[in-house]
A and B are shown apart, each in its own frame.
Chain A
C-alpha cells in the first residue's frame, strides 16, 4: 500500500470508529469491542511469531493471566481500579519473562512444547484453585469501574487503548530493536555472528508481546465482567494463530483483519449452526492450501509484484 494513502485510510477508519456507537445498536457495538480486544491479542502474538520467528504456541495463557489478574484484583480486593488494571499487563509481562527464560534456551518446536507445558500448569492451577479463581466456573459479575460500566464507554475505553497500543507496537517494529528482531527471524546465525545477542532480543520481544496480551486480557474483563479457565486453554492460543494466519503473518495490520473476520464469522455463523468449529477447520485448511501468506500478505505481494520487486521464483 502506498504509504500516504495507507495512513489517510487508517486515520479515516479510526475517526469512523469514533462515531460508531451513534449509529449502531448495542449488539454491534459489543461485537466491535470484542474485535478490538481480540485484535490487540492477535497483534501481540504476531510480534513474536510473525516478526520474531518464535514458536509461541501458548500465547493465550498470557491473555488469561492478564484477565485473571485484573479480574481477581477488582473482585476480591479493595485496591483502586487503576492499580488493578495496570497490574494486568505488568503481571503478564513478568510471567512472560519467567516462562521465556525457561523456554528461550530451546529451539523451535521444543520452545513451543515447553511453553505449552508451563502454560498448562498455570491453566491447571486456575482450573482447580476454587477458593481463589472460582475453579472451572471462573469468576462472574466482576465490578468494573464506573467510567467503563456502560457499553459505549467500554467501547471508547477499549478503542483508545487499542489505538495507543497500535502506535506503540508500530514504533517498536520500526525501531532499531524491531528491525533487529526481524533480521534475527530471517537469519539467526548471521545475527549472532555480527555480535547481536539473539536470545536477549527474543526475550525482550516475548516480554513486550506478553505485556500487550495482558493488556488485552484486562480489556476482556472490562467488556465481559468475567474470567474463566478457557481463557488460559491452549485451544484459544491456536485460534489466535488462525487469526494471524488469515490476516497475514509478516504484515502489521493483518492480525487485526484476521481477528475481525474470525470474531464476526463466529458470532454470525455461530448463531445459525452449532458446528462452528467444523467451519473454522475447513476455513483453516483452505487457507493453508490456497492463501498461506494471508489476506494482507497476498495483496502486499501482488502490489510488489506489479512493481517488479518480487521474483516469480517460488
Chain B
C-alpha cells in the first residue's frame, strides 16, 4: 500500500487486527510469564506446546468432521492434550531438576523443545494444514467501512475473558495464592507444609495449557505448520521481557505493544513489518531495562 493510500479507516482496521493478534499473543505469553514467575525458568519449550495445541486442534476438528462441533471440541480438548504432554514431561524429568542451577533448567526446556519439535514432525508430518472456524464465526462484519473478520472479533472477546479468569484465579483462589507465594519465597512456602514440587508442577502445566489454548485459537487464522514454535517463542520472550518478568498484566501490555506495532508496520512499511515490534522492544528496554511493569522477582 502506498503512503498516499493510508486512510483513517485503514489505520483503524489494522489497529483492530493488531488488537486481535495481541489477544492470542497474550494468552500464550501469560502462560510463559506464569511459569517464569513461579518456577523462574524461561520455558523455551513453550512454543512447542503452542504448536502441539494447534496441530491437536486440527486433528480433533477433522476427526469430528469439522463444523461447529469439531471446532468447539478442538478448542476444549487440545489444551487437555497439551496438559497431558507437559504433565508427563514435568513429572518424569523436569521435577528432578528444581534444585539445580538455572542454566540447567533452561537447557532442559531447550532439549524439550528439540524433542517435541521432532515428535510433532513424526506424528503430524511436515505439510501445511488449516481448519475452518465454525459457520457462526465465518465471514466478516463491516467496521469503519472495511470488512473485519468475525473470528478476530471472537478473539477480542476471548482474550479479556482469559485475562480476567487468570487474574481471578491467581488473586482469589487458594491454589493461585500459593503459586504466587511460591514465586516470591519458595522456602517459606515449603516450610509451612506445602508440597512445593506439586505447586511447581501445577504452575508448569497451567502455563503450558495456556500455550495450547493459544495454539488452538490461532489455528483457524493461520496455516498450522512446523516452525510455528520458533516464531512464537521469540515473540513471547520479548513480550515477557518488556512487560516485566512474571507479571501477568505486563504480558498484556507487552502483547498489545507487540501486536499493534506489527500490524501497523504492515500498513506503513510492509517489508520491515517484523522489525517494528523489535524496535519497540529495544526502545522500551533502553528506557526501562526491567520492563514496563514491576516484575515479580
Contacts and interface: CB of A to CB of B under 8 A. Distances in A.
A81 interface: no
B16 interface: no
Given A275-B118, A281-B115, A288-B111, A124 B289 contact: no
A113 B237 contact: yes
A203 to B, nearest CB: 15
B93 A285 contact: yes
Interface majority SS (helix, strand, loop, mixed), chain A: helix
Interface string A214-245: 00000000000000000001110010011001
A288 B118 contact: no
A212 interface: no
A281 B97 contact: no
Contact of A114 (B44, B96, B113, B241): B241
B96 to A, nearest CB: 8
A284 B107 contact: yes
Interface in B199-239: 230, 234, 237-238
Contacts of A288: 97, 100, 104, 107-108, 111
A110 interface: yes
B102 interface: yes
Interface stretch (B70-78, B143-151, B161-169, B276-284): B276-284
B272 to A, nearest CB: 5
B112 interface: yes
A116 B100 contact: no
Given A102-B286, A120-B234, A120-B278, A277 B117 contact: yes
Interface in B79-116: 93, 96-97, 100, 102-104, 107-108, 110-115
A273 B113 CA distance: 18
Contacts, number: 112
Interface string A259-290: 00000000000000011011011101100110
Given A102-B285, A275-B118, A127 B274 contact: yes
Interface in A110-131: 110, 113-114, 116-118, 120-121, 124-125, 127-130
A105 B289 contact: yes
* Dominant secondary structure of chain B at its interface with chain A: helix
Interface in B1-56: 40, 42, 44
B282 A278 contact: no
B238 A120 contact: yes
Nearest to B41: A109
A138 interface: no
Interface residues of A, number: 39
Contact of B103 (A55, A102, A274, A275): A55
B290 interface: yes
Nearest to B97: A288
Most buried by B among A55, A106, A129, A288: A288
Given A117-B285, A120-B234, A124-B278, A109 B245 contact: yes
B121 interface: yes
A121 B115 contact: no
A284 B285 contact: no
Contacts of B108: 284-285, 288
A116 B107 contact: no
Contact of B275 (A128, A234, A278): A128
B175 interface: no
Contacts of B111: 280-282, 284-285, 288
A216 B122 CA distance: 34
B51 to A, nearest CB: 14
B102 A109 contact: yes
Given A284-B110, A292-B100, A121 B279 contact: yes
Nearest to B114: A281
By Cβ-Cβ distance, the 10 closest A-B pairs, closest first, are: A281-B114, A278-B118, A281-B115, A284-B111, A121-B278, A113-B241, A281-B111, A277-B114, A285-B111, A124-B275
Given A113-B240, A121-B279, A280-B111, 12 more contacts: A117-B241, A118-B282, A120-B238, A233-B230, A241-B110, A245-B107, A275-B118, A275-B122, A277-B117, A284-B108, A284-B114, A292-B100
19 contacts: A109-B42, A113-B42, A113-B241, A114-B241, A116-B234, A117-B238, A121-B275, A121-B278, A124-B275, A125-B275, A238-B44, A274-B121, A275-B122, A281-B118, A285-B108, A288-B100, A288-B104, A288-B107, A289-B97
